[in-house]
Structure 1
């Protein structure tokens, strides 16, 4: 009898795991995710985080890392992002996508949301160390690169982007910022009115891309 009870208990435990574990079909129903790099970055910036997403059940066919020319205006990059979103939706059949952006990628993706119709096609948006209200480090590059000049706190680009509603539409907005971010000054520049804003502690700017705790927070947010 004890042996039979033990077998029954083991069988119930296995069945419970089968019921709880997400099926491939359930994982495939998650929104496709588009990762947008920052200034002087590239699609490769997201290799570690994309690996985390795959390990957590996302299909590789629903994870897309964007590359763009940083010498272009963030407005031009936003238009390229719109084209990519349309392409991803066509490929996957998804009605909406999620966007995870690092640094300057927060600005061009916000421009897409606010001015290029993106709020109709984006479900959730995440900013990692985004200079959403500018950074005082832009004098080192703004004389040469348009996109860099647009990150200056007093730029006309940021004036237009932050005028009125900073988090428009029905999109869920989440920002993560660090009080040890050496490139976003002041650190609180990332914070947006209407978003859920989270201080992740002392993490340097580039390390936001590869931090395990940050990756967990991003995935938890997108699954919620």
Structure 2
């Protein structure tokens, strides 16, 4: 056996160890590892809640992702999650759709495949652990608006970009829109993609009533003292001041559905599951109007609104929001189709089109007929 007794060998070993340690340090501090869903319960991701990297430290919220050893050249994307969820569900795996091929990538992975890097993809968890465990008590209010605004400001500072694209799911859509109006920061947004948001309120909330302490998500505006109309739930407006009034879910000029008409510099999109959305349509109350619950009013800057719902329609029952999330209440998500949750997890291809092209009628390109139906509304 030949033995190399050269005195240079220990130095070489030390050098190689130093290089290895430097590489490990870079991976840890620079965030080479991308967002990971970890485990999931079929609807939301359950991996580590804080996956920031590259020195990105927003100083707000309850976790999230973004940052790395990279430079932003695109408009950064900020993901705003839904009720009972967290930011990391942007990497939620897709579900099986009967008769179609299952998408191979999560929304996050689809944007990575389109060329986005980790300095262009961010998300914030704006609900605490207790709030995520009790979704029926969560509503819109200024404290949360400040969390979202501070996060967007942190992303802009980190990336050096003046604007972001917001991708929002479910409660995140209405929360983000209310935040932009409350803070007057709509100029910080280039594009807004609303996925299954309750822009017109939730018809499922009519069962609970407009002022129910056990289902605060479903209350009308300013249900608590002191009066502040920026504090509101998702009860569909009665249309007149007084019982059940909610300017946000109504049809007036300041309502969520009409905000694109006031913010003409922002380009808006919607992805909805329509009647297959079990959060919107698990109801006998005004069931005929529930499929339109996620839709903006038509405006020149509402570029496209696409219905991707498939599988079973949501059951026609009155669901009591006081019991929690309707994850087993029928709809497309439970029937090898697309409902409230898969309208996010399965539609990365459509999201990519909405963020990287100027699509109007063609936002379903690469998805429609391959991964499921996609009907322009």
Place the TM-score, normalised by the shorter chain, in its bin.
0.7 to 0.9
SS in 2 for 1:50: helix
Moved more, 152-161 or 117-126: 152-161
SS in 2 for 1:100: strand
Greater RCO (Cα-Cα under 8 Å, separation 6 or more): 1
Distance 1:115 1:85 in 2: 14
Report matched runs for 1:1-224 at 5 Å.
28-47=72-91, 48-69=106-127, 70=131, 71=137, 73-76=139-142, 77-138=144-205, 139=207, 143-149=213-219, 150-154=233-237, 156=246, 157-159=248-250, 162=255, 165-167=258-260, 168-169=262-263, 170-179=265-274, 180-185=276-281, 186-193=290-297, 194=299, 195=302, 196-202=304-310, 203-211=338-346, 214-224=347-357
Residues 130 and 184 of structure 1 are in contact (CA less than 8 Å); yes or no, is this contact kept in structure 2? no
Instruction: Give how far 1:61 is off.
Output: 1.6
Encode CA deviations 1:84-114: one digit per residue, 9 max, x unaligned.
1111000000010000000111101111223
Q: TM-score, normalised by structure 2?
A: 0.48
SS in 2 for 1:152: coil
Distance 1:133 1:57 in 2: 34
SS in 1 for 2:293: helix
Instruction: Give how far 1:164 is off.
Output: 8.7
In structure 2, relative to structure 1, the CA distance for the partners of 1:148 and 1:42 (3 Å cut) is farther
Instruction: Give how far 1:124 is off.
Output: 0.2
SS in 2 for 1:99: strand
Instruction: Give how far 1:140 is off.
Output: 5.7
Residues 39 and 104 of structure 1 are in contact (CA less than 8 Å); yes or no, is this contact kept in structure 2? yes
Encode CA deviations 1:28-54: one digit per residue, 9 max, x unaligned.
421111101111111121113212211
Q: Which runs of 5+ in 1 are unaligned?
A: 1-26
Residues 123 and 171 of structure 1 are in contact (CA less than 8 Å); yes or no, is this contact kept in structure 2? yes
Q: TM-score, normalised by structure 1?
A: 0.79
Distance 2:256 2:112 in 1: 37
RMSD: 2.3
Instruction: Give how far 1:145 is off.
Output: 4.9
SS in 1 for 2:279: coil
SS in 1 for 2:194: strand
Query: Highest Rg: 1 or 2?
Result: 2
Which ranges of 4 or more aligned residues in structure 1 deviate by more than 6 Å?
Answer: none
Q: Which runs of 5+ in 2 are unaligned?
A: 1-70, 92-105, 132-136, 220-232, 238-244, 282-289, 311-337, 358-377
Distance 1:106 1:112 in 2: 10
Encode CA deviations 1:48-90: one digit per residue, 9 max, x unaligned.
3212211221011221111112555423322211111111000
Larger relative helix fraction: 1
SS in 2 for 1:144: coil
